[in-house]
Amino acid sequence: MTKRIAGEAGQSIDVAVDYGIDPAGLPKPADFLRWVQAALASTGKPAEVSIRIVDAAEGHEMNMRYRHKDYATNVLSFRADLPPGVPIPLLGDLVLCAPVIAREAEQQHKPLAEHYAHLTVHGVLHLVGHDHETVAEARAMEAIEIQVLEKIGISDPYTDR
């Protein structure tokens, strides 16, 4: 089931959410839109993002295929690779692995929706070019995540390190 939802007129943001699993108990498309909007608020640019929620098998297969890592991970980000001069606002795709996210939320004693919000923001920041390959990059990206999440009422996800 895919649901496309558009943001407010001020900043045109479209989010397509595809539930590859039963969506019961998972965030709604409007939640994902709110989190994507929060992550992109400072850009002021139109954007399109696709989000797919998957099970462990699909998450594992995608992580193996695209990152050569033999496990399911919480979020995968795929930046759109558009040819120069193609004027569409497609940022890319996010893949969120529901069982991994649920397990992490439980282990970290975090509300499930807040963990989804954090990982959605994290993934969107990857789509716009942020990374965490070095300590400096990780600190910078985490600072942005904390700031974005704070604006939507979610406390610092890194406080329990």
Q: Which two tokens stand for residue 26?
A: 């998972």
In the prediction, which pLDDT does 86 show?
A: 87
In the prediction, which pLDDT does 65 show?
A: 97
pTM of the model: 0.92
In the prediction, which pLDDT does 1 show?
A: 47
Taking 70 as the pLDDT cut, the residues of the chain under it are 1-10, 160-161
In the prediction, which pLDDT does 161 show?
A: 46
Task: Determine how β-strand 2-6 pairs with β-strand 47-54.
Answer: unpaired
Has residue 33 been placed in a domain? yes
Output the domain CATH number for residue 54.
Answer: 3.40.390.30
Put residue 88 in one of left, alpha, beta given phi > 0 → left and psi -120 to 50 → alpha: beta
Has residue 24 been placed in a domain? yes
Has residue 105 been placed in a domain? yes
Has residue 159 been placed in a domain? no
In the prediction, which pLDDT does 6 show?
A: 53
Has residue 157 been placed in a domain? no
In the prediction, which pLDDT does 12 show?
A: 87
Domain count, the chain: 1
Residue range 37-65, pLDDT digits in tens? 999 998 888 899 999 999 999 999 999 99
Has residue 158 been placed in a domain? no
Has residue 160 been placed in a domain? no
Q: How far is CA 53 from CA 3, 22, 93, 95, 119, in A?
A: 12, 9, 11, 6, 12
Domain that holds residue 108: 2-151
Nearest C-alpha neighbor of 101 from the set 25, 35, 154, 30: 25
Has residue 144 been placed in a domain? yes
